[in-house]
Amino acid sequence: MHAYAASYSRYIIAISLAVYAAAALFRVFVRRRPARAVPEAVERLMIPWITLNGYLTIGLLQGELPVMFLFWSLQTVLLQLYISLYRHSFPDSDGQILLHAVLLLSVGLMMIARIDIRSAVKQAGIAAAGLFIVFLLVQVRTRLYAMRSVPFVWGALGILLLGTVLILGSDILGARLSYEIAGMSFQPSEFVKILYPVFLAGALGSADLKGWKILACAAAAAVHVGLLILSTDLGGALIYYMVFLLVLYLATGKGRYVLVGLGAGAAGAAICFFLFEHIRIRVQIFLDPFAYIDGSGYQIVQSLFAISFGGLWGAGLAQGAPQKIPFVMMDFIFAAITEEMGLIAAGCVLAVCLLLFLELVLLSGESVEYYQDRFLELFLFGTGITFIFQTFLTVGGETRFIPLTGVTLPLVSYGGSSVLATILLLGIADAGAMLIGERRRHFLARYAEESARPVYEEMPGREERLRRDRRYQRQPAQQPRQPQQRPARRQPDVVFEDPGAYDLDRAGSDFRKYMDL
Amino acid sequence: MNRMNPSPDNNQPQQTAIEHERRARRDRRIRTGTFIAFLVLLGGCLAYTGWYALRNRVALFNNDYNNRDELLMQRNLRGSIYAADGTELARSEVSVDEGGNVWQTRVYPFGRLYAHVVGYSDMGGSGVEALCKYDLLHSDISFADKIACDRQEDPAARLYPGNNVYTTLDPRLQQAASDALGDLSGAVIITEPSTGRILAMVSKPDFDPGRIEDLWEGLLADTETGTLVNRASQGLYPPGSTFKIIDCIDLLEENPDAVRTYTFDCDGQFEEGSDKIHCFDYEVHGKQDLTDSFAHSCNSSFANIGLNWIDRKTMRRTLRRLMFDEPLPFDMPSGQSHVDLSDDQPVDQVMQIYIGQGRTEVTPLHINMITCAVANGGELMRPHVVDRIEAADGSVLESYEPRSEGALMEEDTAEAVTELMKAVYSSSHQGTARMLEGRGYTAAGKTGSAEYREGTEDFHSWFTGFAPADDPKICITVVVEGQGIASSYAVPITAQILDTYFAQ
């Protein structure tokens, strides 16, 4: 048992993570209901399997098997129950967002538990609270959707919240990021990450997008970024800047805006470089971390040691030394994962992050078919950018691919504000997915009505709905229905001239159409 | 809803639908592009990390700030270090305490003999122990062997045996060099010119690497002797007359005819303006050519060469080619030789430089490398101590092939300098090492007595050379600190080592 934990569990974990990533990739191409149940089941099984291996290894090698096993049992039961309940209550939810989020959360918890079990329990509590709030929030999704009508209110609120940090914020290691509310450390920039895409999508997604609106948006975004730079949250500033740029690009489709934005960003970065010493230090460390190994470069060098020590398969959980990296649970969790679980497993975690981003991008595309205003399209896109760009900043920083900015790996890193805000943001995105799903059903219902089939006269049960979905999906694309294909059914009275335009579920399910691949 | 339902009767919604479709296509392109951009960014990040981490894993593992070796000590038994003939130079022994904890102790069967070159493993490590820390601590035995290890009852036997390091060291030469140096402070380095293999490397005073933890405080406190310093590669000494080899290399590159055309009449000293330089012991060497000047080590003659025959600019280029003021191509820590021959140096300083005095500093390893290049027709082979790394089951993991560092001089120059160095051994030329003649082998070399404290009779005594002269097999550099002139110390030590080598 001990030998298994020490030597072989790392292979099982890495391969299981690869299986999860492969299933998730397969699920991207299989978006129809009956077929997609298979990869989803594989994903759902892999999460407790990976963590079981992990916690057993940690428990055996650290000599606290009962504690670890208890922690694993509790979180597995709760998470699996939550997934079941959620999927049952919200059949229109996306499915993948929740599963990916749970996987990232579980891997993060495992790594945090290996370093410090107390922190892991705290993190689990915050995550549970976040998931509970999400469960309540998605119930009022129609009202959440109404948030789009007053975008500048959210922009102003965001600026206000960021402004309070400058006034109330406490200095922690030279950065003013958070303040205390009722004994809890609270980092507003994380929560503004929820308001910010709502604001941008609401303002830029209106049907009549005028010049002044774009300018007002740019000004508000600049104030956000400026406040973050002043509170020395370099990573946050970069994320907000990039989200604005890309959402603006999607909203207007004009490359010259992006070019102007990039130019302004470069100029701003140059000014900041000469204005702020801490930014210059970051760049110097990036260029030659080993020259500053005694001081400011210590953290990044330790991260490189950790990643290099892990190699392809990792040193094995509880067999590396990730705690040598200062602030490993917050800012360097990816290095810790790479050290103990290996580059392959870390690559799989990154792949899941990318797939979660892809899911949000695909949803953003699907919303176009069902919503005439572009709020959801831009919001889901903005959420995706927030998530993936933050991932890129932290992973790139830890591996010395780009200068270090000190942001967390969403859902994986330890940090109350960060994990709560990310769960809420993804929850709201999933609420958007539900709205899209409901619209799709609505369209299907119309289609069914017009096909003169009394399908929705009584509210069908879930099983019945699934069966009917399947029936429509089995239709070959762009072909008029052949009576001999369904001899048992009644011939529809009305035949549409252009069934393709109405076969919306099929349209939404066609990956290539959305990805142009 | 109507906009989704274009009716042929009404033109307006039709237009809107087309526009809608066009915009949807554009948005799709943007989304696809963004996704692919992030895919490339994150993929590139991962690929870069993998490349960087795997490529630099040895260097990063060996870094002083990374103490993950302690982790591996719990799992792997540190491998052994062997001499070229298979003699064990270092091994680890395991003990298990009552708590079931496994402890490894490093054992050095030869005690202080290999103190500097093999080094010690604790306290950060040194020598081969530090250079090959990564290999010694990793175990590349097969998966089946690892499982067999896991099944062992005894916790000591459960450690995976680490990889073994085979060095190029020759125990007989190492012993001979150490014996010859005796209790004197100094260093001996013996290499094979055609491959760069280091056959022996001795530095004195030495210490017992097995007791390094007990000795550590005392050794660190004693900053005067510097016992921990490997004098052979790190010790910086004034080169004395061995620097005349470099003078000759430059002179013969500039003026290949100098061997025949150069003459100088030595009256015991050389004057340039108000600056004076005198021969050792104010000896008058009389009329002599280049070979005699070199064999007698005539200071006046070389001051003359430096000022009147050699161009300072070309000399600077030669010095750069001979690796002065830059790190040596050697994997273990080595000192950086230094010479300052800038244009603003006054004449007296320049004369001092050409006879190897003044502020010039070299390491014995560096002088040995230059001598090796002369012996090897001008081409320098990279000096190395590690021959190969083997897994515990005997499979070779890594093997260090001889590697050329390029030519330090022309082949003709090397041959001419060899002739000059042969004369040092010749009694017909009254060479400074003529006592080595008639021992049954031919040799070539250069002596040096470096004054390191002005006005005293203390000298660093140098010898560097190779044997046999016409087919060099070994190249020896000896430096003895602060005892006296070369012919009394460095030359007899070399003779003793060469006698042992050729006695086989």
- For residue A107, give the nearest of A21, A186, A193, A7 by alpha carbon: A21
| 8 A C-beta contact, residue A54 and residue A13 | yes
**What pTM was computed for the model?**
0.78
CA distance A21 to A30: 14
Verify whether the Cβ–Cβ distance B27 to A365 is below 8 Å.
yes
State which residues of chain B have pLDDT below 70: 1-15, 453-457
A77 CB near a chain B CB, below 8 Å?
Answer: no
Mutate to test the interface with B, among A305, A358, A440 (most CBs of B within 10 A): A305
Verify whether the Cβ–Cβ distance B49 to A372 is below 8 Å.
no
Long-range CB contacts (within 8 A, 24+) of B120-128: B120/B209, B120/B210, B120/B212, B121/B78, B121/B90, B122/B212, B122/B213, B123/B212, B123/B213, B123/B216, B124/B64, B126/B228, B126/B230, B127/B230, B127/B332, B128/B81, B128/B165, B128/B167, B128/B332, B128/B385, B128/B386
Secondary structure E strands in B221-350 = 263-266, 269-272, 275-278, 286-289
pLDDT of the residue at A239: 95
Minimal Cα–Cα distance from A100 to chain B, Å?
A: 17
pLDDT of the residue at B217: 86
Minimal Cα–Cα distance from B71 to chain A, Å?
A: 7
Residue of B nearest to A246 (CA): B34
| 8 A C-beta contact, residue B301 and residue B285 | yes
Q: Which of A312, A321, A392 sits opposite B45 (nearest CB)?
A: A392
CA distance B336 to B339: 10
A3 CB near a chain B CB, below 8 Å?
Answer: yes
Mutate to test the interface with A, among B29, B30, B133, B146 (most CBs of A within 10 A): B30
Q: Which of B24, B35, B60 sits opposite A305 (nearest CB)?
A: B60
Residues of A in contact with B75 (CB under 8 A): 6, 319
- What distance, in Å, lies between the first and last C-alpha atoms of chain A? 47
CA distance B368 to B383: 10
Verify whether the Cβ–Cβ distance A6 to B45 is below 8 Å.
no
Verify whether the Cβ–Cβ distance B28 to A357 is below 8 Å.
no
Q: Which of A304, A321, A357 sits opposite B38 (nearest CB)?
A: A357
Verify whether the Cβ–Cβ distance B45 to A389 is below 8 Å.
no
Mutate to test the interface with A, among B16, B21, B32, B35 (most CBs of A within 10 A): B35
Residue B298 one-letter amino acid? C
- For residue A178, give the nearest of A197, A158, A161, A159 by alpha carbon: A161
> What are the average pLDDT values for consecutive 10-residue runs of chain A, which has 517 residues?
76 96 93 82 96 94 92 96 94 92 97 94 95 95 88 94 80 60 74 94 84 91 92 90 95 90 93 89 92 89 94 90 91 95 96 97 88 87 96 95 90 92 96 90 76 50 60 52 54 46 46 43
CA distance A461 to B407: 86
Residues of B in contact with A246 (CB under 8 A): 34
Q: Which of residues 5-64 of A touch B (CB under 8 A)?
A: 6-7
Verify whether the Cβ–Cβ distance B52 to A301 is below 8 Å.
no
pLDDT of the residue at A463: 60
Residue of B nearest to A446 (CA): B1
pLDDT of the residue at A488: 54
CB pairs under 8 A between A and B: 131
pLDDT of the residue at B454: 65
pLDDT of the residue at A509: 46
Burial class (CB in 10 A: 0-12, 13-18, 19+), A371: middle
Residue A444 one-letter amino acid? L
A242 CB near a chain B CB, below 8 Å?
Answer: no
pLDDT of the residue at A460: 54
Sheet containing B198-204: order of strands: B198-204, B186-191, B474-480, B459-467, B444-451
Verify whether the Cβ–Cβ distance B31 to A364 is below 8 Å.
yes
ipTM surpasses 0.90: no
